[in-house]
Structure 1
Amino acid sequence: MSQPGFPGHITTSTVYSSTRVNTSIRWDPSYIQTLPGVLKIVQIVCSFIGFICIEASGLASHTRGGFFNFVALVAVLFTGILLIFYLLHIIEKTFRIPWLMVEFAFCAIWAFGFFAVSIMAATYGSDAYLVAAFFGFCCMVAYAFDAFLKYSALKRGEIAQGERTAQKQTNVTDVY
């Protein structure tokens, strides 16, 4: 008995995909209850607490503190804007923008950034810097996990918000 793809058989595959989105802007707080929503909240809160620790230390003008605060503030702003976009379904309205790729790149870069600034803060020797480093490492883990989730979603061909369904139809034709 021949296997599909062997001589005597022609195998054709057709993939059908459809994207279903609602392009109206609307408030949807249920996003906060999803894993990506919880990760965004954790990222914002930990980044902001780390920023406050550096600022309250009295040593915020040190170069290490400046680097940490830059990474933390950009994280709070970018992630906060993304969270608002998801809550208002602006991501779904602009589904043609590769949001998963944008988020994957940002999360991967910021995971590395938090790793670097957290090590610098941890080796400074100030208690406030140590606490900031702890929250920085928490951010690193959250951003790395989020990057992994975005990468996995990209590999599966998903979109950031809305639905994309794909169906695969395989036909085998005997040729003699």
Structure 2
Amino acid sequence: MLRMTRKENYVAPSPSPVQRNRMAAPECIALTMEPESRLYTDPVLVLDFQSLYPSVVIAYNYCYSTCLGKISNMDHLPRMPLGCVGYEIPVKALKDIVAKREYHISPAGVAFVTSKVRRGILPRMLDEILNTRIMVKRRMSMYKNDPALTKLLDARQLALKLIANVTYGYTSANWSGRM
């Protein structure tokens, strides 16, 4: 991520403990419920999406570099709070984005510009990771007869999968990291 931000002349802040403590608390936290362990006699539907969460980030262009901020904070214009820092949105640019409907509002009430306005760092990075994983999986199928190489390639594609999923999870790390 830092390699990609450097190319765009972005600065990734490193918040101090004091700055992290001043940040707004998370407004929603996902609830993951454990299924009941028992014999189900009715059909059970299982859905398995390939790279679901990274794909959501890519599809909706969710990134810090595309974030307009919380809709509830729009009265703070032009200076918007975002995590431990603030940024300024030129009112004319915001009006153009709204007029052209080039934004998406997440379920948490945060607005992001579409990729037509600016493609985010995280979507680009995740896209690169997922495309590399697909390439590695194709190579695995080409070398089925070489168990050592297949094992190595499988480990690489699993590592890429983990990196993509951890990147998604790390974006909600409020007090433990740079994001």
TM-score range, shorter chain: 0.3 to 0.5
**TM-score, with normalisation over the residues of structure 1?**
0.35
**TM-score, with normalisation over the residues of structure 2?**
0.34
Which is higher, the Rg of structure 1 or of structure 2?
1
